[in-house]
Amino acid sequence: MRLHFRWGSGFFSRRYHDPIYAIYGFVRFADEIVDSFHGYDKARLLERFRTDTYLAIEEKISLNPILNNSNGLSINTG
């Protein structure tokens, strides 16, 4: 995790750290698609990530560890 992000999250109560880190991981994953997948249809990859995100919320589970992160996002909680 980038140092400035970790440092900045320290302004919040510890109870918010896991949700903040979960959001950071989610956003970094999408950013990685845009920054790294040269030669691939990035719009299609982002749409797949979006579809997978909604499916994970609906099914409360995902094979994608970023989407399945229960520490901060409520995807697999009741």
Q: What is the pLDDT of residues 29-55, one digit of tens each?
A: 999 999 999 999 999 999 999 999 999
Q: Please tell me the predicted confidence (pLDDT) of residue 70.
A: 55
Tell me the one-letter amino acid at 14. Answer: R
Give the tokens for residue 56.
């994970």
The Cα 78–Cα 10 span in angstroms is 28
Split at pLDDT 50, 70, 90, the class of 74 is: low
CB 34 within 8 A of CB 42: yes
The Cα 23–Cα 53 span in angstroms is 12
What's the whole-model pTM score? 0.75
